[in-house]
Structure 1
Amino acid sequence: MMLHASVLAVAVLLGSCWAAPPIDSDPAAYDLENYDVDSDTWDVNSYGETYDYDDLNEEIEVETVAPPPPAVTQPPAVTVPPEAHTEKVTLPPQTTKPQVPPTLDFLGPGLFGPDTGLGMPTCLLCVCLSGSVYCDDSDLTEIPPLPKETTHFYARFNKFTEVKGKDFLNLNQLKRIDLTGNQITTLGEDAFRSLPQLQDLLLVNNKIQVLPELPATMKHIDLRNNRLTSATMHREAFKEMKDLQFLYLSDNQLDYIPGPLPDSLRVLHLQNNNIQSLNQDTFCNSHDITYIRKALEDIRLDGNPVDVNRYAQAYVCLPRLPVGTPH
């Protein structure tokens, strides 16, 4: 029993020796105040592992500091192709009725003129430009309704057979009508008479048999290659036309020269008709031997059965003799 107790005492003594810390030359190493280990946070399951508490403190400090705001970057510039760019324009409120540009005045009540019987405006079917309307070679069978501001109308080489009295109604600024190369046989009696400014009428290469009354404002009349006769023309048809300068009546069926002719006349073409005689007062004034017709310098009578040499007294007032066929 005593021996057993002695052995136990020796074992305890040896165990305490083994568990004692190593001897250090610095006494302060054994001071309890240098031990910072908190028993409350000591994890017995982590025995044998080494913790770096300084690193832990640094992580805590970093996490507690608010992160810096993210850097602001400008969005990349967007390049819009010119054709895809649409500019919005804000117009000021209208206080007065907008004025129509002067260049569009001739278009009348609609932007493209009045509607035709073909279901489209005249200025889409034809070409409207600064008061002139061009309908040449358009296969038209009727005169289309024209804008009220029309001054010149060209409708050559179509399929017109008639000009009605209402076709040019209220066109008070119309100065020139050219219907050359159609198939016109009939002209309405009021087709041209009501046009206050009409100056030029060209009806070449048609089938016209009767010439209606024309306004006194005429300057240029061209009726070549039609079917006119002296009986179907108004008596003294050109007398009151004080500004008439050019009269072309060749290639018709006239029996005599329509007169009296105004003093303003410069050109008279009557070739290829059926004229057989001349009146002494056709060009001159038999009651005034001093009368001189200075303006009329171009008279064509060739292609007629008249003998120009037989009527010398008919030319005494002229600056130049007519061209004709002597017999």
Structure 2
Amino acid sequence: MVIQRQTSKMLLYLVWILLGFSLGAPPTDLDLEAFGLENYDDPDSWDLHYNYDDEHEEVETVAPPTALTPPPAVVVPENYVEEMTLPPRPTKSPVPSTLDFKAPGLFGPDTGLGMPTCLLCVCISGSVYCDDSDLTHIPPLPKETTHFYARFNKITEIKAADFINLNQLKRIDLSGNQIGKVNEDAFRSLLQLQDLMMADNNIQALPELPASLKHIDIRNNKLRSSGMHAEAFKEMKELQFLYLSHNKLDYIPVPLPESLRVLHLQNNNIQSITQDTFCNSHDKNYIRKALEDIRLDGNPVDINLYPQAYFCLPRLPVGTPV
């Protein structure tokens, strides 16, 4: 019985030893003499206590990784404008304006504003449009120009060289400028010119005009009879429209070509009419069929005093004394 009890104690001790090793308990210094058979059954002789304070084993712990927080999203305001500093522009030395540059260039010759005429104006199929462009001079025109429009500018003079070598020019419209002087040779070389429009200027005298003209408009100027060539319109075999109203003419500029259809002379200083002004006093059968519109109103002349001057006309002139 005693042997059986001791055997049980031994098994219990072995189980305890095995459990100690499996749990990683630190080794102990065993006193084998204390576990003899004579004191094996004495539980007081067992030293089952382990002093962990004698061991100072430092265990390092790994800190958990720091959570990465994404940066806040950049919100661009609606009215945000990114400022940029541009490099300074290269400066060019000023080039003096000139109207004497005759090189054709890609867009026509240069104007007095330092740019080609066809950039300052509009050039389309031989027509050059320079209306309301603050011009003070007539710009050099491409040689192939056929129609030139420079209305409502500040041009004060027409020079001899302004239209030189423009052999294809058919129409000039300079209405609404400040032209006070026209050079005597300004239009002499324009052998194909058909329309000359210079209304609303300050013109006091007309130069020699091409015989090819069909339409002349010099309304609202300061033109005087002394400023016109004698028989200025006689050789114009194709002239149809002659507008000379609101000037300072003293008489009707005769002889008038047979082709004339419209003659406006209202608001001048015309004081008399002769029998040969419109008709031929030597040929009573003569009829001027083309001239259908004559305006003489606003002049000192009383057209009722000259009935013999209208017998060849299809229509009587319009006119009342001032």
Could you say which TM-score interval applies, normalised by the shorter chain? 0.5 to 0.7
Read off the aligned partner of 1:154 and give its amino acid letter. Answer: Y
Establish whether residue 173 from structure 1 lines up as the match of residue 146 from structure 2: no
Residue 159 of structure 1 is matched in structure 2 by 154
Answer with 143-152 or 114-123: which moved more.
Answer: 114-123
Read off the aligned partner of 1:185 and give its amino acid letter. Answer: G
Q: 4+ residue runs of structure 1 moved beyond 4 angstroms?
A: none
Q: Indicate conservation of the 8 Å contact 1:219/1:246, yes or no.
A: yes
Q: 2:271 aligns with which of 276, 280, 288?
A: 276
CA deviations over 1:240-261 (Å, ceiling 9, x no partner): 0000000000000000000100
1:138 and 1:198 map into 2 onto residues whose CA distance is: 24
The CA RMSD measured in Å over matched residues stands at 1.1
Q: 1:321 aligns with which of 309, 316, 321?
A: 316
Q: Indicate conservation of the 8 Å contact 2:270/2:300, yes or no.
A: yes
Distance of aligned partners of 1:115 and 1:326 in 2 relative to their CA distance in 1, 3 Å threshold: closer
Give unpaired runs (5+ residues) of structure 1: 1-107
2:210 and 2:293 map into 1 onto residues whose CA distance is: 24
Give unpaired runs (5+ residues) of structure 2: 1-102
Q: Indicate conservation of the 8 Å contact 1:309/1:326, yes or no.
A: no
Residue 103 of structure 1 is matched in structure 2 by none
Q: Indicate conservation of the 8 Å contact 1:142/1:160, yes or no.
A: yes
Q: Secondary structure at the match of 2:119?
A: helix
Within-5 A mapping of 1:111-150: 111-150=106-145
Residue 183 of structure 2 is matched in structure 1 by 188
1:195 and 1:319 map into 2 onto residues whose CA distance is: 34
Read off the aligned partner of 2:106 and give its amino acid letter. Answer: L
Q: 1:228 aligns with which of 223, 226, 231?
A: 223
1:117 and 1:297 map into 2 onto residues whose CA distance is: 44
Read off the aligned partner of 1:159 and give its amino acid letter. Answer: K
Q: CA deviation at 1:326?
A: 5.3
2:152 and 2:164 map into 1 onto residues whose CA distance is: 22
Read off the aligned partner of 1:177 and give its amino acid letter. Answer: I
CA deviations over 1:115-172 (Å, ceiling 9, x no partner): 1122111000100001100000000100000000000000001000000010000000
Read off the aligned partner of 2:135 and give its amino acid letter. Answer: L
Q: Secondary structure at the match of 2:172?
A: strand
2:188 and 2:254 map into 1 onto residues whose CA distance is: 19
Q: CA deviation at 1:109?
A: 3.5
Q: CA deviation at 1:110?
A: 2.2
Q: Percent identity?
A: 81
Within-5 A mapping of 1:1-327: 109-325=104-320
Q: TM-score scaled by structure 1?
A: 0.66
Residue 27 of structure 1 is matched in structure 2 by none
Read off the aligned partner of 2:233 and give its amino acid letter. Answer: F
Read off the aligned partner of 2:189 and give its amino acid letter. Answer: S
Question: How many residue pairs are counted as aligned between the two chains?
Answer: 220
Q: TM-score scaled by structure 2?
A: 0.67
2:310 and 2:321 map into 1 onto residues whose CA distance is: 15
1:279 and 1:207 map into 2 onto residues whose CA distance is: 29
Residue 71 of structure 2 is matched in structure 1 by none
Read off the aligned partner of 2:193 and give its amino acid letter. Answer: L
2:148 and 2:258 map into 1 onto residues whose CA distance is: 28
Q: Secondary structure at the match of 1:317?
A: coil
Distance of aligned partners of 1:284 and 1:141 in 2 relative to their CA distance in 1, 3 Å threshold: same
Richer in helix (by share): 1
Q: Indicate conservation of the 8 Å contact 2:298/2:321, yes or no.
A: no
1:163 and 1:109 map into 2 onto residues whose CA distance is: 21
2:264 and 2:106 map into 1 onto residues whose CA distance is: 42
Residue 83 of structure 2 is matched in structure 1 by none
CA deviations over 1:266-311 (Å, ceiling 9, x no partner): 0000000000000110100011111100000000000001000011
Read off the aligned partner of 2:130 and give its amino acid letter. Answer: C
